[in-house]
Amino acid sequence: MKRLKMVDLLSDMPPIPEPTAGITEEEKKFNEIAELSKNGYLLLKDSHVDEAENAFRKILDLETDNNYALVGLGDAARKRNHFREAVDYYTKCLSYHPGNNYALFGLADCYKALNQYNKAIEIWEQYLQHDDRNITVLTRVADAYRKIRDFKQSKILYLRVLDVEDNNPYALIGLGHLHYDFKEYRDALYYWQKMLDLNDDAIDIRVLTSIGNCHRKLKTYDQGIYYFQRALRMDPNNFYALFGLADCYRGMNQQFRSVEYWNKILEKDPNNKVILTRAGDAYRNLGDYELAQDYYQRAFDIEFDVYAVLGLAMISKIQGKYDEAAVSLSRLLQSDPRNYRLYLELAECHSNCGDKKKAIDILQEFQKFGIRNQLISEMLEKLRE
């Protein structure tokens, strides 16, 4: 008879069960929930959302008010961009566990994604009661205040972030956007420039175009050109860099250069009617009326466009077709009755036709809106003389 080795005997035996002596049912449930929770969040981190949700739902079968499961399901819904569903899970969690930081954070992020900034601010403020130096939350609240155009509160919070962490990039970027949104371009430039000074070798292209835009708004066009050109070296097709360069050259009255960049945008986006009208303006200022008319017409064919019609009327006016231009301008006034430029152009058409009274009447019509405009006043004075 073959002598059996100990290893053979062991291989035929059933697996030895884990020792359970001394472990209560409550402790077993606790261990199972802990394992499911751990696996659920690992699955969520790896974007296995379905499997993560299954793990979290198993927890709720064991414990209906479990905070890890409710937050986990909220996070999973948020990952799918199902923000209203996520709101329900986070709100349910907070009903059982008031002040749960993870539920508060997720809920505020959902409200932000739903553009309900006031609600997001309210939730983040609750979070800050527990952790008032959390940089991530402070910057998000500052961003939300910026979105609802509360300049003062937004700036206070961004500066609080900088007190906690010098040169925090999110706060510097936020302050740049904040001042730009409120047309404080020099202050915006200060913060964007600081970002550049800190990260010159690995700067984000958006910082370069933002600095360029500040110079564009300040009419320091030559300085803006430098930053837009630098951005184009990083990405030759960047829309904002191309637009910025074209607009800077337009501001410097170098239409022959601006049209080069308008056309580069149109190569990628031929149906952009704003760019078509800008290119039409450039060609009109260069005296190429035929090409200008082509661009204006292309814009108009896409959709009715005030500036395309205005451009065509301006060409008619330049060519001495004052009656034709006046008809187009009068129609435009019906759709844009407070546009002072239309009144100036229309008054000039009537004046050139020898009808000064009609020109004066047109300008006075604009003044009935109670809007003070120096160009309108100067033209009126000149016509009355």
Listed residue (82, 78, 85, 81) closest to 102, CA to CA: 78
Residue 282 near residue 263, CB atoms below 8 Å: no
Nearest-angstrom CA–CA distance, 374 and 385: 17
Q: CATH for 138-203?
A: 1.25.40.10
User: What integer pLDDT is reported at residue 222 of this predicted model?
Assistant: 96
Q: If we measure between CA atoms, which residue out of 202, 201, 165, 197 comes closest to residue 211?
A: 197
Handedness of CA 161, 163, 168, 174 (dihedral sign): positive
**CATH code 1.25.40.10 region(s) in the chain:** 33-131, 138-203
> Is residue 214 a contact partner of residue 188, using CB atoms and an 8 Å limit?
yes
Structure tokens at 337: 């009755």
Residue 41: the pLDDT is: 94
267 has pLDDT over 80: yes
| 8 A C-beta contact, residue 335 and residue 345 | no
Query: What is the sign of the dihedral through the CA atoms of 323, 328, 329 and 334?
Result: positive
Query: End-to-end CA distance of the chain, in Å?
Result: 133
Whether the CB-CB separation of 87 and 110 falls below 8 Å is answered with: yes
Q: pLDDT for 41-60, tens place per residue? A: 999 999 999 999 999 999 99
Nearest to 124 by CA among 140, 135, 148: 140
Residue 148's CB is within 10 A of a number of other CB atoms, namely: 12
* pLDDT greater than 90 at residue 11: no
Q: Which two tokens stand for residue 297?
A: 């017409």
State what percent of residues in the chain have pLDDT above 90: 85
**Whole-number Å distance between alpha carbons of 371 and 356:** 22
Of the pLDDT bands very low, low, confident and very high (cuts 50, 70, 90), residue 24 is confident
pLDDT at residue 17 tops 50: no
Confidence of residue 129 (pLDDT cuts 50, 70, 90): confident
Which superfamily does CATH assign the domain made up of 33-131 to?
A: Tetratricopeptide repeat domain (1.25.40.10)
Using 50, 70 and 90 to split pLDDT, how confident is the model at 10? very low
**Statement: residue 110 has pLDDT above 70:** yes
Q: Using pLDDT thresholds of 50, 70 and 90, give the confidence band for residue 132.
A: confident
Count CB neighbours of 176 within 10 A: 25
Grade residue 13 by pLDDT with cuts at 50, 70 and 90. very low
Amino acid symbol at 56 = F
Q: Whole-number mean pLDDT of the chain?
A: 92
Q: What's the average model confidence in pLDDT over 242-263?
A: 97
| Token pair 């155009």: residue | 149
219-255 burial, b if ≥16 CB within 10 A, otherwise e? eebeebbebbebbbeeeeebebbbbbbbbbbbbeeeb
Confidence at 201, pLDDT banded by 50, 70, 90: confident
Identify residue 246 by its one-letter amino acid code. Answer: A
Q: What is the pLDDT of residue 65?
A: 95
Q: What is the pLDDT of residue 22?
A: 61
Give 24's DSSP letter: -
pLDDT for the residue 3: 43
Residue 14 has pLDDT above 90, yes or no: no
For residue 312, give both structure tokens. 């065509």
- In the prediction, which pLDDT does 319 show? 93
385 falls in which pLDDT band (50, 70, 90)? Answer: confident
Cα gap 202→219, rounded to integer Å: 27
pLDDT digits (tens, 9 = 90+) for 28-38: 899 999 999 99
21 has a pLDDT exceeding 80: no
What are the tens digits of pLDDT across the range 276-292? 999 999 999 999 999 99
DSSP state of 232: H
Q: Does residue 5 carry a pLDDT above 50?
A: no
Rg of the chain over all Cα atoms, to the nearest angstrom: 33
3-state secondary structure 257-323: HHHHHHHHHHHHCCCCHHHHHHHHHHHHHCCCHHHHHHHHHHHHHHCCCHHHHHHHHHHHHHCCCHH
